[in-house]
Structure 1
Amino acid sequence: MFGWGKKKPNQAATPVMASKADGVEIANSHPFAALLNVQVDDPDMLREVGPLVEAAAMAMTGVTGIESTYEPTSIAIRLLCAPDADPDLIFLTARAGSLAIAGTLEGRARLTILEARADGSLGHAYAINPSAVPTELAPTDMIGKLVEGLQRSSSRLAEGVSAVLTKAKLDTQTLDDLEELLITADLGAPASARIRAALSKERFGKDITTQKVKEALAAEIAAILSPFETTHSPFEGPGPRVILFVGVNGSGKTTTIGKIAYNLSAAGHKVMLAAGDTFRAAAVEQLKVWGERCNVPVVARETGLDAAGLAYEAFERAKAERMDVLLIDTAGRLSNKTELMSELAKIVRVIGKVDPLAPHETWLVLDATVGQNAIAQTEAFRHAAGITGLVMTKLDGTAKGGVLVAVTDRHKLPIRFIGVGEHADDLQPFSAHAFAHALVGLRTL
């Protein structure tokens, strides 16, 4: 899970709870969409967790009321909905909400959710077993994960540093060799020149070791990146927070969205996904798989339909269902295709009709394996979509991890996340110092 902690309770509206346990009867005209069972081993524990689960159930999207039946070690909670509501949709979002509830209970109770059929009988039962939620990574743990993920890039730099340090003191030739090494490691000429100048000013003529040079390089790289690291959650604020994802084909947009949804859902956020890549049926199906895995709803249309219209529909629905976050996928597009970039601008305009401040964030997903081409991609997408942040993926599959320094140095954009592996927790909020140390192969801050 991301290191910003659980969703703040004051973000969610708190409806008035209606429950038989409180002596309030619900009108029979309100059908129920699901039955949530809570089981405990200790009756005293039921008095503690029962009200918590009832309040969380009442806050679920589409739930208009609840009816609770208490037994000594269990509660059966009927989730009621409006007569014209879609019970299937409410059941889907209830499953997602139940996953978040189970995570907050931390093993104190067992949850099962049963779908309600049209005739009022109960259908399939689903045991709600939240995935283990990892604690926030300590700096040393984060360094270890990053060093492993950036192994190709860090090995290239570490071996290069060892190769150029043939003298006991830092002289002009060694500085020239280090600058050339940084350029070939994709940090970019401007950043490499500034790092060289800083090393020359502080360490010229002094005794040096490979370790000291690595530490100096890490410090200078961190100084370049620190103004652009993510220090707070970009998902906080009045919902739904709309985040648009853009990038070229194959950059990893859909997978990135899935990983973010997974982490946000585990942290208790109500998340909705929009499959805006209407050109590729595979992308839509991939996002649906992530939605099922995360127990979050996915708004999708048939292949080839208007992406801007889908984005508008998803935003309206996210508002109606009081979602915290709406993540919108878009079709991958080459940055030199004018008509496709114009379509992207149209999506931004259409979303703005629902809320002038939306999209609240537009993130460009960059594939680290493309190296210096990432700079040109960023330039093109900034003009088309007003980029507010970067996500760099596939850092574990390339020796070109230094390109993140070059892109940031050129475009001065915040770095939201970096991806160093296939697992959901391999997508991490960006830390300048952790990244800089890992890039040069240092395992401690």
Structure 2
Amino acid sequence: MEILILAVVIALVAVGAISGLVVSSRKKKQLPPTAPPSTPTITAPPAEPQVGEDAVETAEEPRRTIEEVGLPEAEAEAAPVEAPAAEPEAPAAPEIEVPEPTAGRLVRLRARLARSQNSLGKGLLTLLSREHLDEDTWEEIEETLLIADVGVAPTQELVERLRERVKVLGTRTPAELRGLLKEELVALVGTDFDRAVKTESGVETPAVVMVVGVNGTGKTTTTGKLARVLVADGRSVVLGAADTFRAAAADQLQTWGERVGARTVRGPEGGDPASIAYDAVKEGIAEGADVVLIDTAGRLHTKTGLMDELGKVKRVVEKHGPLDEVLLVLDATTGQNGLTQARVFAEVVDITGIVLTKLDGTAKGGIVVAVQRELGVPVKLVGLGEGADDLAPFEPEAFVDALIGD
């Protein structure tokens, strides 16, 4: 019995000792060690929450009733509600322009055409006004005509006729010489050609005009300007953008068309030009248009495959009806090289008319004579500047008059 009591007492003492150690360790954790005065104060991490005997009693605070709790004041003005973003407006349709009348346009553009008169018209008048027209003078006259790209055969014909008339005329006043030279040049250019662009097919389908030429002659721009010429003459036009190889060619042509209210039929870049030309004529028939203008890709006359493709475009278009006009665009500054181009194109698509661009400010006005003599087809339009209405119907008398000057 005594032994049992003694064991209980020992156990109680052991439990008390262990409890004291636990409490002591907890108190040590509660008080962080004080940093020495010389060292900077370091913020200790927050103390661990205390529970049990070590928990600090929470001070009681007076509680507020629900009536005493104030509500947050409403803002004086509610924030404006943003209106939903307006849908972007559709781009306004381009304003339809009224092209300048084509009647007498070449006369109005005479100042630009006359820039080339120094080497041709005035040069000839100066030589013919010499007191003695010896062989050297006639050779200079011949050289002047050749430099102006009149061509060898036409130059020889003109010089011979001038020699005969000057010999018969005798005295040569400036007015007489000017009249004489004008008559001979007009005869050389030719007045018996039909220079009107065909805009009536003679059947119920629209007249179809195909524009061809090599790269860099201004073919797409010429097609757009030609649309303005036709609209100015009261014709309705549909444009076919069959130049699918040059970047932005279709966009350029469509811009020209929108300015005069002409619709442009186009296809994907790199698409089949013949297919687009076919669709353009089809749309022209559906709309009852007067004329369908087809702009083809610029082709080098030395590339046989491309020229064959141009022939394909012509054949496909003719499934709708006859091709009324094939206009070859030539750069007047290329001179005799333009004649080489003209010959090859004529073999492929049967050229019916010529458009001479960049004729303003050039000394190559004689190319009009040479290209007509080479192809046997008339120059129908001439480009005399960069303006939208600087494409003019060709008039032999006005052309020669501007070359000679006053």
Conserved? CA contact 2:206–2:292, under 8 Å: yes
**What's the counterpart of residue 215 of structure 2?**
249
**What's the counterpart of residue 266 of structure 2?**
300
Structure 2 gaps of 5+ residues are 1-89
CA distance in 2, matches of 1:410, 1:288: 34
1:221 paired residue among 185, 189, 194: 185
How far 1:204 sits from its partner (Å)?
A: 2.1
Q: How does 1:81-230 map to 2 (within 5 A)?
A: 131=98, 133-134=100-101, 136-137=103-104, 142-143=106-107, 145-146=109-110, 148-161=111-124, 164-165=127-128, 167-204=130-167, 206-227=170-191, 229-230=193-194
Deviations 1:293-351 (A, max 9, x none): 11111011111111011111111121122111000000001111111101101111111
Q: Which moved more, 1:430-439 or 1:293-302?
A: 430-439
1:330 paired residue among 283, 290, 296: 296
Residues 243 and 196 (structure 1), Cα distance of their counterparts in 2 relative to 1, 3 Å cut: same
Conserved? CA contact 1:226–1:433, under 8 Å: no
Conserved? CA contact 2:116–2:361, under 8 Å: no
CA distance in 1, matches of 2:156, 2:275: 47
Residues 328 and 124 (structure 1), Cα distance of their counterparts in 2 relative to 1, 3 Å cut: closer
What percent of counterpart residues are identical?
42
CA distance in 2, matches of 1:135, 1:382: 27
Q: Is 1:365 aligned to 2:332, yes or no? A: no
Q: Which moved more, 1:280-289 or 1:126-135?
A: 126-135
Residues 270 and 162 (structure 1), Cα distance of their counterparts in 2 relative to 1, 3 Å cut: closer
Conserved? CA contact 2:96–2:261, under 8 Å: no
1:351 paired residue among 317, 320, 345: 317
How far 1:158 sits from its partner (Å)?
A: 4.1
How far 1:244 sits from its partner (Å)?
A: 0.3
- Amino acid across the alignment from 2:278: Y
**What's the counterpart of residue 27 of structure 1?**
none
How far 1:209 sits from its partner (Å)?
A: 4.5
Residues 296 and 172 (structure 1), Cα distance of their counterparts in 2 relative to 1, 3 Å cut: same
SS of the equivalent of 2:319 reads helix
CA distance in 1, matches of 2:270, 2:119: 44
Residues 279 and 130 (structure 1), Cα distance of their counterparts in 2 relative to 1, 3 Å cut: closer
The structure with more radius of gyration:
2
CA distance in 1, matches of 2:234, 2:394: 21
CA distance in 2, matches of 1:276, 1:126: 24
The TM-score normalised by the length of structure 2 is 0.71
Deviations 1:367-404 (A, max 9, x none): 11111111111101000111011111110142212111
Q: CA RMSD in A?
A: 2.5
Conserved? CA contact 2:102–2:392, under 8 Å: no
How far 1:440 sits from its partner (Å)?
A: 2.5
Conserved? CA contact 1:274–1:314, under 8 Å: yes
CA distance in 1, matches of 2:176, 2:167: 13
**What's the counterpart of residue 433 of structure 1?**
397
Deviations 1:403-435 (A, max 9, x none): 111111222212211111222332111111111
**More strand as a share of residues:** 1
How many pairs are equivalent?
315
- Amino acid across the alignment from 1:363: L
CA distance in 1, matches of 2:125, 2:94: 55
How far 1:271 sits from its partner (Å)?
A: 0.6
Residues 214 and 399 (structure 1), Cα distance of their counterparts in 2 relative to 1, 3 Å cut: same
Structure 1 gaps of 5+ residues are 1-122
Q: Which moved more, 1:193-202 or 1:228-237?
A: 228-237
CA distance in 2, matches of 1:204, 1:391: 37
